[in-house]
Amino acid sequence: MNAPTTQIPATARHPMVELTLARLRIFFREPGAVFWTFGFPLVLAIALGIAFRNRPPEPVRVAVESPRLLDALAPSTGVQPRLYDDAAARLALRTGKVDLIVLDGTPITYRFDPTRPESRLARALTDAALHPRGKPDTLDAPVTEPGSRYIDFLIPGLIGMTIMSSGLWGIGYVVVEMRVGKLLKRLVATPMSRPQFLLSFVMMRAFFLLLELPILLGSGFFLFRVGVAGSLPLLVAVSLLGAIAFAGVGLLVASRAQNLQTAAGLVNLVMMPMFVASGVFFSTARFPESVQPFLRALPLTALNDAMRAVMIDGAGVRGIASEILVLALTAAISFAAALRLFRWR
Amino acid sequence: MDTQSAALRCEKLVKKYGELTAVDGLDLEVRRGECFGLLGPNGAGKTTTVEILEGLSDPTAGSVEVLGMRWDRDPRALRQQLGISLQETHLPDKLTVEETLRLFRSFFERGRPIDEVLGMVELHDKRKTWTTKLSGGQKQRLAVACALVSDPELLFLDEPTTGLDPQSRRQLWDVVLGFKARGRSVLLTTHYMDEAERLCDRVAIVDKGRVIRLGTPRELIASLGGQQVVELATEQPLRPEDLAALPGVHGARPDGDGIALTVSELHLSLPAVLDRVEALGLTRLSTHHATLEDVFVTLTGRHLRE
């Protein structure tokens, strides 16, 4: 009993402070959780950024069977001709080594699979190279400007997705673990305020967001030159609102589950539709007009749309008012419902 | 706060889960400053009863009064004054002992300094240790410490030493005795006889959701009529009735493959018993001081561990 006895303050801190501190400590002492929250989105952004980086157009590969055609196509930059004999050319086409076979004669014959888009492209390019009709009267404008590349679309979506998944996993899993270990029951045996307990999870998520956001925005900027066209404070505010909304959804998902399997199933059930349909990897515009109102009501759609509006289009508060409303309603309704439904034992 | 009333009183408590009746008209009164034990086998309804008394579940019928208050009227005031340790609570693995106690302390308006509580449960040198690195006994003392941070009037302990080694059990008993020495009240459940005899001023023996006997451990043991128990077995068949009339024998019952006798004067009974069974071939003979276990077996015909 010779331990120092002076370090502990005699007065107790506010329970909200202690609850939030406990959440943060438990999180940061779990290396796996730290990676999934901070590291994984970063890895994903880098991998997707590399996979979808803007490249110069690749020339189409074409098989020819006469030296005359080889010479005729050689100057063309968009077509890469190679000389094959007949059998080798057919094999190359079948195995996808070339997209098109050009047979000399009058007229010239193109052999290709019309269901393969790259073959149709190869046919068009080759035809243009062999039959120049003067200068083309259109001009191709290649798209490489920041703001309209895939990575510009992707980064806001990844931020939205991260906010959703860390809200649902980070809260849903932890809450159910506490229920399984009867810690929830033990806590409600004290005078602890139940709303404060639930609120401590929202606080935790808000705090983490302020760490996650610079990592994601920073890597987007330094690796891919993805900037923020609009107001940075507005972007922070929108993502904070998103984090709070998904913290509420996380609490709701975890409010009754009695074991970790059920919790994991529920989390996936809630997240999967939004992964696909809320415009993380591709625009929601690809879905039919009839389902658009439902998609717009999804919190992740609202968050992604608002993030893109601020980051890409430089929208102000008014431009994203409906998205803000969806997120605020999600937060309020899910938190109130979680408080009502929550099973403490 | 009404200091004249009992620390805890419940009357005609009933708890049903569908068809199953877990608690079946149970009456209890815990006096101020006393350590009261609910003793019974697993499934007797001890935990269900305690959770109703702790305000964690509602009774199907019956009334509960804790520290002169009722759960439906003063839940907040009651929570402030109770210390509760549940049967098994998985405290956060990666919080230290001190952080865990500070968290629990923050929920209460008043309480004891964390340092004092650490001293009471002898975890001072573990204050910076994560819960997951504590031994079973240390974890259990931390769980009890979480119940002590509020400096409660009444402490509930549900099977506090189940699964602990003998040394850890004794350390925990010292914590409870220290708490009681400060004039506070304790309600504990246990299925360990020695624990009830060591800690409890009074014991209620619970079976099938009812109190079947109530008294001090000494009274309950005295109710057997004798202070000593003789256990024996023979090669030839022998019935309890054959020994019941011997001098000093107050009771005889079958016990496993043999017979158990309750006797008041061993020096009179033992020679008579030996004389009676001599021709039958004695295979086993032992004597011990009567315990609450013997009381339970006498009352129910079953052992507590069954």
- List the single residue in A with minimal CA-CA distance to B119: A1
What residues of B are in contact with residue A174 (Cβ under 8 Å)? Answer: none
A252 within 8 A of A341, measured Cβ to Cβ? yes
pLDDT on residue A141: 46
Interface of A with B (CB under 8 A): 1, 3, 5, 8, 10, 12-15, 17-19, 21-22, 25-26, 29-30, 180-183, 185-192, 345
Interchain contact, B86 vs A182, CB within 8 Å: yes
Of A14, A19, A190, Cβ closest to residue B79: A190
pLDDT on residue A175: 93
Interface of B with A (CB under 8 A): 54-56, 76, 79-80, 82, 84, 86, 88-95, 98-99, 102-109, 111, 113-115, 119, 122, 124-125, 127, 130, 146, 150
DSSP secondary structure string for all residues of A102-115: EE-SSS-EEE--TT
A63 within 8 A of A93, measured Cβ to Cβ? yes
> Looking up tokens 């929250």, which residue turns up?
A37
A235 within 8 A of A228, measured Cβ to Cβ? yes
* Domain final position from A77, A95, A130: A130
pLDDT on residue B130: 96
DSSP secondary structure string for all residues of A247-305: HHHHHHHTSS--SHHHHHHHHHHHHHHHHHHTTSSS-GGGS-GGGHHHHHHSHHHHHHH
Of A3, A181, A189, Cβ closest to residue B56: A189
Of B86, B113, B124, Cβ closest to residue A3: B124
* Domain final position from A100, A130, A160: A130
Give a yes or no: residue A140 inside a domain: no
Number of domains in chain A: 2
pLDDT on residue A55: 63
Q: Please name the amino acid found at residue A93.
A: L
Residue B127: phi, psi to the nearest 5?
A: -60, -30
Sequence-distant (6+) residues with CB within 8 A of A292 are A284
Q: Are residues A235 and A94 in the same domain?
A: no
Q: Are residues A29 and A67 in the same domain?
A: no
Q: Are residues A96 and A156 in the same domain?
A: no
Give the residue from A293, A303, A296 showing the smallest Cα distance to A328. A303
A335 within 8 A of A241, measured Cβ to Cβ? no
Give a yes or no: residue A4 inside a domain: no
Domain containing A70: what range? 60-130
CATH number for the domain that contains residue A113: 3.40.190.10
Is there a common fold for B8-217 and B225-289? no
- List the single residue in B with minimal CA-CA distance to A181: B90
Of A12, A14, A29, Cβ closest to residue B94: A29
Q: Out of 3.40.50.300, 3.20.20.190, 3.20.20.70, 3.30.540.10, which CATH number does the structure's domain B8-217 have?
A: 3.40.50.300
A250 within 8 A of A212, measured Cβ to Cβ? no
Interchain contact, B95 vs A26, CB within 8 Å: yes
pLDDT on residue A309: 92
Low-confidence ranges of chain B (pLDDT < 70): 1-4, 304-306
Q: Are residues A93 and A212 in the same domain?
A: no
Q: E strands along chain A, which residues? A: 60-64, 79-83, 100-103, 109-111
Give the residue from A196, A231, A276, A158 showing the smallest Cα distance to A19. A196
Interchain contact, B86 vs A14, CB within 8 Å: no
Q: Out of 3.40.50.1010, 3.30.70.980, 3.90.105.10, 3.40.50.10300, which CATH number does the structure's domain B225-289 have?
A: 3.30.70.980
Q: Are residues A113 and A245 in the same domain?
A: no
Q: Are residues A21 and A164 in the same domain?
A: yes
pLDDT tens per residue, range B261-282? 998 888 888 898 888 888 888 8
Q: Are residues A126 and A264 in the same domain?
A: no
Give a yes or no: residue A143 inside a domain: no
Strands lying side by side in the sheet with A79-83: A79-83, A60-64, A100-103, A109-111
Alpha helices in chain B (DSSP H): 46-53, 75-81, 97-106, 114-120, 136-148, 166-181, 193-199, 217-222, 241-244, 266-277, 292-300
Give a yes or no: residue A311 inside a domain: yes
Q: Please name the amino acid found at residue A235.
A: L
Q: Where are the domains of chain B?
A: 8-217, 225-289
* Structure tokens that stand for B28 in this block: 């209890």
- Determine the length of chain A: 345
Interchain contact, A19 vs B84, CB within 8 Å: no
B151 within 8 A of B82, measured Cβ to Cβ? no
Q: Are residues A48 and A70 in the same domain?
A: no
Q: Are residues A29 and A82 in the same domain?
A: no
Interchain contact, B108 vs A190, CB within 8 Å: yes
* Start-to-end Cα distance in chain A: 37
Q: Are residues A110 and A234 in the same domain?
A: no
Interchain contact, A180 vs B90, CB within 8 Å: yes
How far is the alpha carbon of B288 from chain A, nearest alpha carbon, in Å?
40
Q: Are residues A158 and A195 in the same domain?
A: yes
Mean pLDDT by 10 residues, chain A (345 residues): 44 87 90 81 76 70 87 83 87 82 81 78 83 53 57 87 90 91 93 93 91 87 86 95 96 93 93 91 86 93 94 90 96 95 90
A287 within 8 A of A295, measured Cβ to Cβ? yes
Interchain contact, B102 vs A18, CB within 8 Å: yes
DSSP secondary structure string for all residues of B167-215: HHHHHHHHHHHHHHHTT-EEEEEES-HHHHHHH-SEEEEEETTEEEEEE
Q: Are residues A332 and A245 in the same domain?
A: yes
User: Does residue A258 come out as left (phi exceeding 0), alpha (psi in the -120 to 50 range) or beta?
Assistant: alpha
